[in-house]
Structure 1
């Protein structure tokens, strides 16, 4: 048949591509993330002003945030390099929102709320919505979480970043892609730069992947990412090693029983068989994060004491996941009877007193606001001012008006111009002569074992003992404010 007479080919119709629609999260899944975040936010805002007081470390943050970024960087060359990034962040927060206790603590409240959401999301992905909800709620009510949610320091921000590094790790393990590992590495590096001991969480994640027996390419990708984080952190580690005297206040005994108790609790809660939603199971993520950072810090403390609970605050993420998943397993097994609910009510009731106590000035090791007020009330214009030891000058750093009418006798250069936290003091040989020029001295004394061998502190105490006598003493939380009067009244100013 000629080509011209061939019948026309039937028309082919191509059905339009149906766009892939992502499944909307179920209400229970939304609740697993939103409820813990809302609860943590509410608990963080409750009593956030702490009776309008702040303690010494917060006073440092407040004073440092007032300095410009150049001064913060110059100060970090001498002291507190590990907190330099946090001070820079708070400087920008203060620039936008202004000063005040609410501004000082609000970033921590928001960060801890984000951490609770991250805990809920981890529980949701690894063990289901109810486990995520329970884990997030457990995290929100932990006393340590409530405490550092209301503190103007970096620990809540570190906790939030470590919590959200968990979902990034799961995403990278389940669907490997360079950008996923880049996200994970960026989050972990930010956490480590805010506080270098966050690198212990990185080690815990490595154990997680090893225990989960993920494919070798995944383990290799994590190794490359971890090496990048370590490389980015290494300058901070090297430079901050020269400032190790800052942690000389940490003393034993090393808390071995506490670490062992946490380990036993974690193992018990990890026993139930928890559902896996990917290559990583809940216990394999949560248990190393709960145990390993504290254990590594404990081992390091055998050489030099550096174990402080707040340095590994993010371990609470692992503990909350295990407790939440354990409670979910109990509910799924229908083993939860009336006694179980009574026990839960008793635990929640037992948390009320410490929750109330955390919102008082006495919940911290000192009360910088009370110290400043006591100095202001005890001093007269023209009196001398003495800090014993001088490093505790930071207690009045946030409110200079409390000491403005007094003369700081041992101070050679103020904290800002000397790029330090507490200022530069005169040599020990010059302090006694300066003190003897004054008839009244207001002394702020803080118990500090390190002052016993410091020549400057010995010169101060010896001069007070030989040439002055105490007239009155006001005791405040964490310090004593004493007015000393010179024994020789010939030069009294009346």
Structure 2
């Protein structure tokens, strides 16, 4: 049976074209949704970054606002969103991760529509959009955040939508002829509502992660590339300026909490290998793109969207270490567009020689890529894909604890295990904790001074220590943690020890 998208010609093809256009975003969205739902619970594991989302989302709105004044203001909007979802649907790994799955599925649909609009009418345009949309969910970085209870997938979806809105604004600039007059008139009616939607989308992305504002210079590069009209530049400048103005208070305030990212290592040459590979792949897709006369191209949109955020983050990291690929996950939207352009070019080149092979090219390539990526896909869905699992070690605590036991956490951030699984720690005395996380408006609480911690430890018979597994543990540096480990070493002996999924719980008994 011939493909419904490409196997029809003449009048039938004209009638099918609108229906085919509606299928283009639907297929990548469903494909990405299936990838996201596959293994969503990751064997009932939750790692430290997601644990922060989990424990904050379980606080009241007032408690979240109190915390944001002290820490994590940059994620405030996301925490409030997840709080609402937890209130309605309950706390679970599905509620935690499903927003990211739906966001990437929406991003894939936007990529498909954008790719098709840029590649132009006809079968090659359909396959460009379809190929780009299907490719997005297979990219390794996207695979990781597709099932992640953090805001980066939502930012990627917003970037994909903002890019589609930009293309919608720019596209009529090169239209000519009577048939395009209707489109141009429609564009004028759309212009200011469209720019308002664009500005709002960029603002929401910035409130989820203000480094997403790097999309603005990327879009400016696109406008330069396509030689946009002055009216288009004015609309974009107003929308972009409004978004920046709306996000600026958060940017300035969150800078006072910059200690949160002090753990990020300085930029090194080996960190640039990944971006270099991505840019090489994207550059190939841009080179293969052949835009129609007078039309903005996939290359003009996709290459800046891929390159500018990557290069911009590298530049910022020279001033302050910030280089984490998740901060510019949204640039993968540009890479997906360029992959779609390469697939569309391959379809155009193959069609004169073998129309049937041209129709099958994109499905076959996506299927082969899916099979080739299967080890990566399975690895991303395993608990070992993350540095630790706060739920697994909680089970070990519940198994090892006894009546009258106490607990310590080294470093203090490992208290997230107790905050996510409080039932496992019921009956245990937290010896170091002076003020709880909710009361203090922090993620890990405030601990007592070292002398008080030492005195409390020496009054105990058995202490459970929750820390990192040996292979991922860092040397103790904080004074409180040094006191904890010194007292345990000098006055206690190990009676039980369990390491599971990046975390460790050790039972100590008093020797004297």
Instruction: Please give the TM-score of this superposition, normalised by the length of structure 1.
Output: 0.90
Q: Does 1:280 align with 2:279?
A: no
Q: Does 1:158 align with 2:155?
A: yes
Structure 1 residue aligned with 2:23, among 26, 31, 40? 31
1:140 aligned residue: 137
2:201 aligned residue: 187
1:17 aligned residue: none
1:413 aligned residue: 435
Q: Does 1:290 align with 2:306?
A: yes
Alignment partners' CA distance in 2, 1:285 and 1:105: 29
Whichever of the two has the greater Rg, that structure is 1
Q: How does 1:356-375 map to 2 (within 5 A)?
A: 356-375=378-397
Q: Does 1:249 align with 2:249?
A: no
Contact 1:63 1:397 in 2 (8 A): yes
Contact 2:127 2:347 in 1 (8 A): no
Structure 2 residue aligned with 1:443, among 448, 454, 465? 465
Q: CA deviation at 1:345?
A: 5.6
Q: For residues 444-479 of structure 1, give each alpha carbon's deviation from its aligned partner in whole angstroms, at most 9, with x where no partner exists.
A: 122788763311111111211221122221111222
Q: Does 1:270 align with 2:322?
A: no
Alignment partners' CA distance in 1, 2:26 and 2:382: 28
Q: For residues 415-450 of structure 1, give each alpha carbon's deviation from its aligned partner in whole angstroms, at most 9, with x where no partner exists.
A: 111111111111122110111111111101227887
1:306 aligned residue: 322
Q: Does 1:49 align with 2:46?
A: no
1:207 aligned residue: 221
Alignment partners' CA distance in 2, 1:164 and 1:277: 25
Relative to structure 1, the CA distance from residue 115 to residue 379 in structure 2 (aligned partners, 3 Å threshold; closer, same or farther) is: same
1:462 aligned residue: 486
Q: Does 1:84 align with 2:100?
A: no
Q: Does 1:472 align with 2:486?
A: no
Alignment partners' CA distance in 2, 1:250 and 1:395: 23
Alignment partners' CA distance in 1, 2:325 and 2:49: 15
1:12 aligned residue: none
Q: CA deviation at 1:277?
A: 8.7
Q: CA deviation at 1:373?
A: 1.0
Alignment partners' CA distance in 1, 2:27 and 2:418: 39
Q: CA deviation at 1:190?
A: 0.5
Q: For residues 63-104 of structure 1, give each alpha carbon's deviation from its aligned partner in whole angstroms, at most 9, with x where no partner exists.
A: 111111111111011111111100101111122222222111
Q: CA deviation at 1:49?
A: 1.3
Q: CA deviation at 1:25?
A: 5.9
Contact 2:48 2:388 in 1 (8 A): yes
Contact 1:32 1:133 in 2 (8 A): yes
Does the residue aligned with 1:397 lie in a helix, a strand or coil?
helix
Q: CA deviation at 1:381?
A: 2.3
Q: Which runs of 5+ in 1 are unaligned?
A: 1-22, 489-494
Q: Which runs of 5+ in 2 are unaligned?
A: 1-14, 120-124, 173-186
Relative to structure 1, the CA distance from residue 427 to residue 208 in structure 2 (aligned partners, 3 Å threshold; closer, same or farther) is: same
Q: Does 1:97 align with 2:119?
A: no
Alignment partners' CA distance in 1, 2:230 and 2:278: 31
Alignment partners' CA distance in 2, 1:346 and 1:54: 31
Q: CA deviation at 1:167?
A: 1.5
Q: CA deviation at 1:349?
A: 2.0
Structure 1 residue aligned with 2:423, among 378, 401, 413? 401
Q: CA deviation at 1:396?
A: 2.9
Structure 1 residue aligned with 2:248, among 234, 246, 253? 234
Does the residue aligned with 2:439 lie in a helix, a strand or coil?
coil
Q: For residues 378-436 of structure 1, give each alpha carbon's deviation from its aligned partner in whole angstroms, at most 9, with x where no partner exists.
A: 21122110100102211332111111121111001111111111111111221101111
Relative to structure 1, the CA distance from residue 343 to residue 222 in structure 2 (aligned partners, 3 Å threshold; closer, same or farther) is: closer
1:167 aligned residue: 164
Structure 2 residue aligned with 1:221, among 235, 257, 262? 235
Alignment partners' CA distance in 2, 1:277 and 1:449: 58
Contact 1:155 1:311 in 2 (8 A): yes
Does the residue aligned with 1:306 lie in a helix, a strand or coil?
coil
Q: CA RMSD in A?
A: 2.2
Q: Does 1:113 align with 2:135?
A: no
Q: Which moved more, 1:68-77 or 1:466-475?
A: 466-475
